Amino acid sequence: NGLVRFLSGEPSSLSLSVVYQPIVNAGNKNFIIGAEVLLRCRDRVLGFVPPNVVVDLSERHGLGADLGKWLFRQVAKETSQLYRDLGFRGSLSINLNPAMLSDSLVSDVQGLLVNEGIPASALCMEITEDNAALDFERINELINELHTLGVTFALDDFGTGHSSLEYVRELKVDRLKVDRCFVNGVEHSEDKLRFLGSIVAMAEQVYMKTVIEGVENQAQWDLIEKLGDVLIQGYFAHKPMPFNEFMAVLMDSA
C-alpha cells in the first residue's frame, strides 16, 4: 500500500510531512521554549488523512518502527537547521508510537544526535498510556538511559483515558501535558478552573513542568497565567505550521 511505498522512498499516493506547533511560556507569549512535532498525511485520492489513522495503520502492519525512523530523521534534519542557522536552543517534542518504545530507541536517538550534531536537550519524547502500556519498569529504564544523554520526556494527554494518575506516579517524566478538555470552557466554570489549578499544583509537588494544551482565547490565557509557572500550547498562541513558517516565527520572536 501507499504507506509502505512512501516509507521505502518509492513513488506513492500517500505523502507524509510534519508541522510544528510552538510551545510558549504563560508569562510571555513571545518566549517560545519549543514546539510539538505533528504528523500530517495527504493521499492523492483521499485527501487529508488524520495522523492517528496513519499511526494506527502503520502499527497494525508492522510499520511503526519505520514510521518512527522516518519521523526522527525528518525532525533531526530540521532541528539541526534551527540550531545551526537560528541559534535556537529549545526542544522539539515528538509523539512516540508504540513501536518506537523499543530497545533500539536509545541507539536510534544516539545515532541521530551524532549524525545531525544536535544536543540531546533538543529532543523531548511524548508518551501516553497507549504506548507505555503498563510496563513501567521497562519504560523507566529507557527513560533513564535517554535522561543520561539529556533527552527529556513528557506524559501526553494527561487526564484522559490515555494517561492517568498512575502513570504520573510511576513514570520518571519531566513534563505533564494536560489534555485540552480541561481548558475547554474554563473561562465559564469556577469548578474547571479549580481542577486545572490542582493539576498544576500536583505537578509542581512532583517536580514536573506543566504544559496546558488547547488554550484558544485571551480569557483562558489570563486565568491560566495566574495558575503558576506553566507552559502553553494552543491555537491562541500558535497553530501547527510548516517548518518554514516556524522558522519565521522564531526569528520574529528572537
Within a 10 A sphere around the Cβ of 173, how many other Cβ atoms?
28
Q: Which does 120 bind (CB under 5 to 8 A by kind): Mn ion, Na ion, ligand G, none?
A: none
Q: Is 225 in the site for Na ion (CB under 5 A)?
A: no
Distance CA 52, CA 130 (A): 12
Find which of Na ion, Mn ion, ligand G, none residue 62 binds, CB within 5 to 8 Å per kind.
none
**Binding segment (CB under 6 A) for ligand G, from list 25-33, 44-52, 138-146, 223-231:** 44-52
DSSP state of 229: S
185: how many CB neighbours lie within 10 A of its CB?
12
Residue 98 DSSP one-character state: G
Range list of H helices, 117-240: 129-132, 136-149, 165-170, 190-205, 218-225
Query: Which of residues 175, 182, 234, 247 is near ligand G by CB under 6 A?
Result: 234
Query: In angstroms, what is the minimal distance from the CB of 130 to Mn ion?
Result: 11
From 20, 157, 159, 196, residue interacting with Na ion (rule: CB under 5 A): 157
Residues 168-227 that bind ligand G (CB under 6 A): 180, 213-216
Residues 6+ apart with CB under 8 A from 16: 6, 39, 40, 41, 54, 70
Residue 194 C-alpha cell reads as 479549580
> What phi, psi does 171 have (nearest 5°)?
-90, 140
176 close to 143: Cβ distance less than 8 angstroms: no
Q: What DSSP designation does 8 have?
A: T
> Closest distance between ligand G and the C-beta of residue 214, in Å?
4
**Could you tell me the smallest distance in angstroms from the CB atom of residue 80 to Mn ion?**
22
Give the chain's radius of gyration (CA, Å): 18
Decide which of ligand G, Na ion, Mn ion, none touches 38; Cβ closer than 5 to 8 Å per partner kind.
Answer: ligand G
* x/- letters, 128..157, toward ligand G (CB under 6 A): ----------------------------xx
> Which of the listed partners (ligand G, Na ion, Mn ion, none) does 238 bind, with a CB threshold of 5 to 8 Å by partner kind?
none
Residues near Mn ion, by CB under 5 A: 95, 126, 156
Which grid coordinates belong to 226?
495566574
Which does residue 155 bind out of Mn ion, ligand G, Na ion, none, counting CB within 5 to 8 angstroms by kind?
A: none
Binding residues among 57-96 for ligand G as defined by CB under 6 A: 71, 95
Rule CB under 6 A: which residues touch ligand G? 21, 38-39, 50-52, 55, 71, 95, 97, 156-157, 180, 213-216, 233-235, 240
